[in-house]
Every structure is written in structure tokens, then in C-alpha cells.
């Protein structure tokens, strides 16, 4: 029953993502289609659909546009990130920036964000306050990260702020909107919001670990990319600082980034980050204690397992 | 009475614009404050506030957040435009792109757009549909323009599409939202939407004319900038094409852009564009025939005069 509902929901999200991008402006259509059809884990839509069901929602199609919108916000930020990071690859294929150039990548991100706003508008005031507030917070997180990268320093407190704002904000907003659309009471909304928050934090820590030790082929992007750009977990361990360390790497090293990664792997940074991910995951599990038992709640719990165990 | 209401409204818009940008992320705060406090004609907030009053609205403060949001959408697009155009100057001072660099300019535009969404969310479904649809259309217009500039060709039909989408969309959305917030009936909403559309078209044609013949000092930006980037009215006259013409200008010309501008000025392009602006302005006046007489309606009419007559 849950499986079939989720299949209906996720298929509809996919359908919505491909049909909502209907611009008669060729570049916007092509570039948006390109990034959307390149896959992605669709973990955010899964969160909102499951939260909706766990909160007692019975018409999963009611949450589909919001679920697609959450994925589209995320996709828009990827398109803009790739401009700032000069990334040529995204999800194993050319980034929009690489294929269409900076101007059109910037406009494609803007377009997708405007479409999100358009998709969300029928949901009314409460959902739109949640989503817009998450969008503001997300941009703040990206900016904190860029500012820290520019200075070449990111301490643990900044790292925490960055991942809470740039990643957890959208996960918690999605979970909360699922609850709102299902008509949940305040207590249940809070429980699912908290769940989403800690799932998001866990997700980002694991993401940053994978940047260090993941298989580049499976990841669809070069390893060490985030670290090379002064982001992520490598910078936050024991005051070590990726940028400085890269600069300090012996000039004879063939590949200073690889040298830095090896150093971080052996420094225990990954183990420390992994322990932090486990702690954050536990808080997500704990939040589910305040959600009535149901197959959807069990699946939200398994989603935490999946996020912890993912390899790409 | 109208004057004092408009003063209250416009002062409140200014107050809202400066206080809504309240991020604790220093760069977003500073860069947003920089562009917002650099002035601007505030013609879009004026349109929405006057439309609200002309549609019978009595609490002008009800329309202030929407009026500020419309100005902020416009401001966000300026920040992103300046990235794409490599513009160092905006409103006579350093562009955000120049002062903070590309990454932070991109994020500042994103931030301002997210704030717009946040400011609009309390207005409910109808206004948010209008505003989000205008945002989508605006980005489409910008993209059409960038695509035409890249190809080095912009025919009259494309130019019409570009100015309707990138400029008129926000003017007509503002006028319509003013009517909606005032509780106007469908006929009045339509009349004010049509007014806003043609005011916006007129505004943009005049803007493009000023790019050719305006006083750079008064404009706060170099003359010929748009033309140099293959935009605007210079490209649309008699099939002439700014880009080609610049390339064709004798290599000995000290300043090929100035040479091209002189050629356009003497070609009659400006006169043709001016006649078109007058025609579009007439349609804006005509639309006001379907709005009940009031001091606010008279002021909307004077706004068309101002847009036609402006020197910067």
C-alpha cells in the first residue's frame, strides 16, 4: 500500500518536473530539461511525500507539486553553484554552465526558481511562508559558505551554520509542508520539521564525507572538489584548514589536492565526521518518536538509514 | 489627500525596502543595502500604490509590502544583469558585481528574489499567482534578449517580445495586484492590468532611447551600453543591427560605439522609436477610460506623461 502510493507520488513528481518547464524560450526549456533529466536522488521529494503520508494525508497527489517544487529549488541552486564553482560536470554530464555558458546558466537558475514560486502559489499562505523562508535561509547558507571559502577558513561553528542553512532548511521545510498539506496539528508539524532538519544535517555531512572518500565514478563528479573549494568536512576537523593545508602541501606533490585528501583521510577527520553524522541521525530517529506509528513513519526511519549508508 | 496618501505609501515602501533586508549574513546585508540605497526611480511601487487607490483601496499600507516586493524583483534582476553585462556602474555607483565580485552578486540577487517571495507570501493565492507568473515571464524576457544579443540580431518582433516580457510583465503585475488588494472587480482588474502593460512598454522604449541619446552623467551609466551589448532600440530599426554595424564601423574610428550611436541618431531610429512610445502611451491612456474617475486615476495618467518625458 505504502509502496504503491509512493510510486504514484514519485512518478507524478517526475512527470511534474519535466512538464512544468514548459517555456517557449528554447534555452530555458533545453537547459532546464537537461539538468532535471540528469537524475538526482530525489531524496527531498521523498521526504515531503512520506511526511505527508505519516501526518495522515490520504491524497498523495495533493503534495506532488510541493514535492516537485522542493526538488526544483534544489536543482536551481545546483545550476547557480556550478557557475560559482566553475564546475564542468554535474551528475556525470556537462553542467548547464559548461554547456550553455554563464549567462544562460544564471538565467536558467532564475527561471527555475521563479517556476518554484509559481508552482507553490496555489498552496496558500502557510506553505508559502515555509517555502520562502527556507529559500532565504538556503541562500544565506550558500553565502556563508562562499564567504568562508574566500577567507580560507571554516571553523566548526560556521560549518554547522552552513549545513543547517544551505541543506537542512529545505529538508525541514519539505517535511513541514508535507505535514501542513496533510492538515496535521502543531505538535506533529514540529516533530516532522525536527526530523527533516536532522535528516538534512546528516545528509550534508555524509555528502561532504563522500566528497573526500567516495568513488568519483559513482559520484559523477571529481573527488575532492568541495575540499578544493574550501568547503566541507575536511576543513572543520581539529582546526585543520583545507586551503592552508593545500597551500602547505610540498610543491613536489604531483597532485596537491590528492595529497591533502590523503592527509585528511589519515588524520581521522572522516571518522570524526562520521560520528557526528551518526549523532545527527539519532536525533532524526528520535523526532519520529513523536509521529504516530505507520508504514510511512517506518519508511522515514529507513530514509535516515539510507542517507547514512549511501555511497554516492 | 492623494499626495499625502502617496507620500505615506512611498515612504513606507522605502522603509520596507531598507528593513526587509535584515540578514545576519554580512555580505547579503551590505550588498543588498548598497543597491537599494542607491536610489532608482521607484516607478513600479508608484504604479501599484496608485492602482490600489484608483481601484478604491482605502488603506494604502495594505499595498506597501507588495509595492516594495515589485521594486525588489526589479532590483534583483539589475544585480544579475550586471553580472551578465560585466557592468561596473549602476545608478552612478559601483555595481554589486564590481564591488563584491560575481559569486556574491549572484547570491545577492538570489537572496533578494527569495525575500520577494517571502514578502509576498502573506498576500494569498491570487496575488502570488500574479507575481510568480510575472517573475517567470521576466526571466524569459531577459533570456530572449540574451539569446538575441548572442546571435547579434534582434528583429522588431523579438524586440517587442523582449520588452513585453522583461519590463511590461512587472508593470502589469503591479497594477493588477494593486487592483486585487483593493478588492476590485474583474473589469477593473483588467483595465489596470492593460494600463500597466502599456505603461511598461512605453517605459522600456523610452529607456532604450535614453541609452542612445541620454546624458551619461544624468543616467548614471555610460551611453550606448545597451546598444554595445546588442540590446535595445538601435537594433530594431530598418533591420539595422547594432552589433554588425559596430563591427563594420571603420577601424580608424576612435570610438566605434560612439560612431554607431551617431549613425543611429542620424538614421531616424530615435524618431521611429519615439513614435512607437507615443502609440503605446496612448494605449495606456485609453485603458484608464475603463477606470472610474478619481485623483489617483489622474495621477496614473500623469505617470504616463512622466515616463514619456523623462530624461534619465
Specify the pairing of strand A89-90 against strand B93-94: unpaired
Which one of B30, B121, B158 would you mutate to disrupt binding with A, by most A Cβ within 10 Å of its Cβ? B121
Residue A231's SS3 state is coil
b/e code B177-211 from CB counts within 10 Å (16+ = b): bbbbbbebeeebbebbbbbbbbbbbbbbbbbbbbb
B→A contacts (Cβ < 8 Å), by residue, are 23-28, 80, 83-84, 102-104, 106-107, 109-111, 113-115, 117-118, 120-122, 124-125, 128-129, 131-133, 135-136, 138-140, 142-144, 146-147, 150
> How confident is residue A267, by pLDDT bands cut at 50, 70 and 90?
confident
Measure in Å the smallest separation between the Cα of A105 and chain B Cα atoms: 10
Q: Which domains does chain B have, with CATH numbers?
A: 2-303 (1.10.600.10)
Residue A89's SS3 state is strand
Per-residue confidence (pLDDT) for residue A310, from 0 to 100: 85
Q: Which residues contact A2 (CB under 8 A, 6 or more apart)?
A: A53, A295, A296, A299
**pTM to 2 decimals?**
0.90
pLDDT tens readout for residues B217-257: 666 666 666 665 556 555 554 344 443 333 344 445 566 66
Q: Which residues contact A222 (CB under 8 A, 6 or more apart)?
A: A89, A216
Cβ neighbours, 10 Å, residue B10: 17
DSSP result, B178-206: HHHHTT--HHHHHHHHHHHHHHHHHHHHH
Residue A94, H or E segment: strand A93-94
Per-residue confidence (pLDDT) for residue A243, from 0 to 100: 37
Spell out which residues of chain B touch residue A173, defining contact as CB-CB under 8 Å.
Answer: none
Per-residue confidence (pLDDT) for residue B64, from 0 to 100: 98
N-term to C-term CA, chain A = 29
Closest partner residue to B80 among A110, A132, A139, by Cβ?
A: A110
Give the residue from chain A lying closest to B147, CA to CA.
A27
Cβ of B25 within 8 Å of Cβ of A147? The answer is yes
| Helical segments of A55-101, H only | 64-84, 96-100
pLDDT at A188 over 70: yes
Per-residue confidence (pLDDT) for residue B311, from 0 to 100: 75
Per-residue confidence (pLDDT) for residue A88, from 0 to 100: 86
> What span, in angstroms and rounded, lies between the C-alpha atoms of B268 and B236?
12
DSSP result, chain B: -HHHHHHHHHHHHHHHHHHH---SSHHHHHHHHHHHTT----HHHHHHHHHHHHTT---GGGGHHHHHHHHHHHHHHHHHHHHHTT--EETTEE-HHHHH-HHHHHHHHHHHHHHHHHHHGGG-HHHHHHHHHHHHHHHHHHHHHHHHHHHT---HHHHHHHHIIIIIHHHHHHHHHHHHHTT--HHHHHHHHHHHHHHHHHHHHHHHHHHHHS-HHHHTS-TTHHHHTT-SGGGSSTT--HHHHHHHS-TT-S-HHHHHHHHHHHHTHHHHHHHHHHHHHHHHHHHHTTS---HHHHHHHHHHHHHHH---
> What span, in angstroms and rounded, lies between the C-alpha atoms of B288 and B298?
9
pLDDT at A296 over 80: yes
Nearest to B46 by CA among B78, B71, B77: B71
Measure in Å the smallest separation between the Cα of A233 and chain B Cα atoms: 21
Nearest to A32 by CA among A66, A24, A85: A24
pLDDT at A220 over 70: no
Contacts A–B by Cβ distance under 8 A: 135
Residue range B41-48: mean pLDDT, rounded: 96
| Helical segments of A85-155, H only | 96-100, 102-120, 125-151
Cβ neighbours, 10 Å, residue B22: 10
Instruction: Supply B237's cell numbers.
Output: 530599426
b/e code B59-91 from CB counts within 10 Å (16+ = b): ebebbbbbbbbbbbbbbbbbbbbbbbbebebbb
Cβ of B143 within 8 Å of Cβ of A104? The answer is yes
Closest partner residue to A117 among B103, B117, B122, by Cβ?
A: B117
pLDDT tens readout for residues B291-305: 999 999 999 999 999
Give the residue from chain A lying closest to B123, CA to CA.
A125
Nearest to A269 by CA among A146, A151, A154, A138: A154
> What span, in angstroms and rounded, lies between the C-alpha atoms of A26 and B90?
30
> What span, in angstroms and rounded, lies between the C-alpha atoms of A56 and B227?
58
Which one of B103, B130, B133, B142 would you mutate to disrupt binding with A, by most A Cβ within 10 Å of its Cβ? B103
Per-residue confidence (pLDDT) for residue A155, from 0 to 100: 85
Q: Are A206 and A308 in contact (CB under 8 A)?
A: yes
Grid coordinates 554607431 are at which residue?
B260
Is A254 buried (19+), middle (13-18) or exposed (0-12) by CB count in 10 A? exposed
Q: Which residues contact A186 (CB under 8 A, 6 or more apart)?
A: none
Residue range A35-40: mean pLDDT, rounded: 88
Residue A53's SS3 state is helix
Q: Which residues contact B94 (CB under 8 A, 6 or more apart)?
A: B34, B88
pLDDT tens readout for residues A120-163: 999 999 999 999 999 999 999 999 999 998 888 778 889 999 99
N-term to C-term CA, chain B = 29
Cβ of B132 within 8 Å of Cβ of A117? The answer is yes
Higher-confidence residue of A180 and B84: namely: A180
Amino acid at each position: 500500500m505504502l509502496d504503491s502510493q509512493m510510486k504514484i507520488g514519485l512518478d507524478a513528481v517526475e512527470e511534474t518536473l519535466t512538464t512544468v518547464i514548459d517555456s517557449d524560450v528554447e534555452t530555458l526549456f533545453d537547459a532546464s530539461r537537461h539538468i532535471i533529466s540528469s537524475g538526482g536522488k530525489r531524496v527531498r521529494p521523498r521526504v515531503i511525500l512520506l511526511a505527508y503520508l505519516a501526518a495522515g494525508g490520504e491524497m498523495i497527489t495533493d503534495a506532488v507539486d510541493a514535492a516537485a517544487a522542493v526538488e526544483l529549488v534544489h536543482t536551481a541552486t545546483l545550476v547557480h553553484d556550478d557557475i560559482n564553482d566553475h564546475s564542468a560536470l554535474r551528475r556525470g554530464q556537462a553542467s548547464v554552465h559548461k554547456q550553455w555558458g554563464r549567462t544562460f546558466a544564471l538565467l536558467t537558475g532564475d527561471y527555475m526558481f521563479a517556476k518554484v514560486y509559481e508552482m507553490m502559489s496555489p498552496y496558500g499562505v502557510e506553505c508559502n511562508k515555509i517555502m520562502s523562508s527556507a529559500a532565504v535561509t538556503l541562500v544565506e547558507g550558500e553565502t556563508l559558505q562562499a564567504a568562508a571559502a574566500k577567507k580560507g577558513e571554516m571553523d566548526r561553528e560556521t560549518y554547522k551554520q552552513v549545513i543547517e542553512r544551505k541543506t537542512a532548511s529545505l529538508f525541514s521545510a519539505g517535511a513541514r509542508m508535507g505535514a501542513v498539506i496533510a492538515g496535521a496539528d502543531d505538535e506533529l508539524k514540529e516533530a516532522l520539521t525536527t526530523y527533516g532538519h536532522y535528516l538534512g544535517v546528516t545528509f550534508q555531512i555524509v555528502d561532504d564525507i563522500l566528497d573526500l572518500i567516495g568513488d568519483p565514478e559513482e559520484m559523477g563528479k571529481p573527488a575532492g572538489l568541495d575540499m578544493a573549494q574550501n568547503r566541507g568536512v575536511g576543513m572543520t576537523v581539529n582546526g585543520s584548514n583545507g586551503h592552508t593545508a593545500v597551500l602547505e602541501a610540498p610543491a613536489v606533490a604531483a597532485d596537491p589536492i590528492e595529497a591533502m585528501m590523503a592527509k585528511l583521510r589519515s588524520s581521522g577527520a572522516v571518522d570524526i565526521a562520521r560520528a557526528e553524522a551518526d549523532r545527527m541521525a539519532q536525533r532524526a530517529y528520535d523526532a519520529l518518536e513523536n509521529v504516530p506509528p505507520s508504514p510511512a513513519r517506518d519508511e522515514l526511519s529507513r530514509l535516515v538509514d539510507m542517507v547514512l549508508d549511501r555511497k554516492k
